[in-house]
Structure 1
Amino acid sequence: MNVWSNEKYCDLANLILGAVLVLSPWIFGFAAGIPSQNAWITGIVIAILSVAALAAFAQWEEWLNLVAGLWAIVSPWLLGFQGTTAMTVHVVIGILVVALAAAELWLRYQNPPRLTAGS
């Protein structure tokens, strides 16, 4: 029986956030160029890592999602689109992705998987 755990719900939420970031240039009317390209690339990375984590959990996926979320937070300043709607979207989604990835890592360390005989 395939039971969804809290970790899977975090991965699903990150998948949705990645999709929102990919679609955000159209939803929020970003200017063409660096803000849109960054949203597409970062959103795709977050979504792919989330799909990989849903398929088979590995801690490296959560660490990379944490890094991708941090990139979304700092990229407006590093790429020069601060003070825009694109910045707000990147920062909010980045904070949510970081929080979910950190929560998932915390859950994993609090409740490590148990090995049972015969499984």
Structure 2
Amino acid sequence: MSTTAWVDVLSADDLPTDDVLGVVVAGRDIALYTVGDAVYATDNICTHGQARLCDGFLDGHEIECPLHQGKFDVRDGRPTCAPVTAALRSYPVKVDGQRVYLQID
């Protein structure tokens, strides 16, 4: 049986503005993205080349992998540009007061 819980990750003040930040949550390497007022989270490792996406380039809702320039939509993890074909796992995010939480199972 799988259970999910909201995990307190960091202060909202620690989020970058329109950029990506790598964090480790419950033993998982996670990328947090801020786009405008929204916060998104995906696995931080590219499904194609094993590069850390937090080292990539965020352009709107797309993160570009620093290794082979494949792209993913940070809202749902789906690939948007070759050479990536497999989606990233994405995680629900909520900001409550000044704290950022991820839902991790």
TM-score by length of 2: 0.31
TM-score, structure 1 length as denominator? 0.28
The structure with more strand, counted as a fraction of residues: 2
Larger radius of gyration: 1
